[in-house]
C-alpha cells in the first residue's frame, strides 16, 4: 500500500461557542476563541490517499486531480471566509479543528477518481493539529440565530 499526501492552505476565521451554553459557560469553555466577532487562523490541510499505483501511470492518484478536487470541494469554499456563517457545509457545527476534519472528510468522500481516502490532518497553528481517519462520527449541528446577536449587532 502506498500513501500519497497533498497539502493545501487557507485562511479563515471562526468563533468557538455552543449556542446551548450560557455566555459564562462559553467563556469558561472556549476562552479567547469565543470572541464574538471571531478570530482567524492560517490553516494547513493535509489529505492522504492510499492505494496501489496504477501500472500504466505509476500514480495512486494524479496529484493535479487531487489538487483540483481539494480546491473545488474545500479550499475555494473556506478560504477567507467566516467558518460559522459563510460555509454551507459547516453551518451549525462548532468549527473546532476536530469537527473541521470530519466535515472535510465528508466533503471529499466518494469524490476521488482513484485510491481511497486515508487521513485528513488539519493544522490550525504550529502547535494545534487534528487528524481523522474516517471512523463514523456524527457532528452535532446547532441552530444559529438569537445567540449571534449582541449589543445591536446581528451576524
Question: pLDDT tens digit string along 61-89?
Answer: 999 999 999 999 999 999 999 999 999 99
Provide the whole-model pTM: 0.92
The domain at 2-154 falls in which architecture?
A: 2-Layer Sandwich (3.30)
Active-site residue identified among 39, 72, 80, 111: 80
Active site residue 80: yes
Active-site residue identified among 33, 41, 116, 131: 33
Active-site residue identified among 14, 101, 107, 124: 124
> 118-131: per-residue pLDDT in tens?
999 999 999 999 99
Active site residue 147: no
Q: How buried is 125 (Cβ within 10 angstroms: 0-12 exposed, 13-18 middle, 19+ buried)?
A: exposed
Sorted by where each begins, the domain ranges of the chain are 2-154
Amino acid at each position: 500500500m502506498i500513501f500519497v499526501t497533498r497539502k493545501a492552505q487557507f485562511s479563515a476565521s471562526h468563533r468557538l461557542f455552543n449556542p446551548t451554553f450560557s455566555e459564562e459557560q462559553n467563556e469558561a469553555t472556549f476562552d479567547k476563541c469565543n470572541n464574538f466577532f471571531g478570530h482567524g487562523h492560517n490553516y494547513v490541510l493535509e489529505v492522504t490517499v492510499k492505494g496501489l499505483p496504477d501500472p500504466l501511470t505509476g500514480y495512486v492518484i494524479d496529484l493535479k486531480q487531487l489538487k483540483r478536487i481539494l480546491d473545488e470541494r474545500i479550499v475555494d469554499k473556506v478560504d477567507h471566509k467566516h467558518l460559522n456563517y459563510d460555509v454551507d457545509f459547516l453551518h451549525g457545527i462548532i468549527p473546532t479543528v476536530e469537527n473541521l476534519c470530519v466535515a472535510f472528510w465528508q466533503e471529499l468522500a466518494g469524490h476521488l477518481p482513484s485510491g481511497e481516502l486515508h487521513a485528513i490532518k488539519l493544522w490550525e497553528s504550529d502547535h494545534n493539529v487534528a487528524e481523522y481517519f474516517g471512523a463514523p462520527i456524527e457532528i452535532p449541528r446547532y441552530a444559529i440565530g438569537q445567540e449571534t446577536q449582541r449589543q445591536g449587532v446581528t451576524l
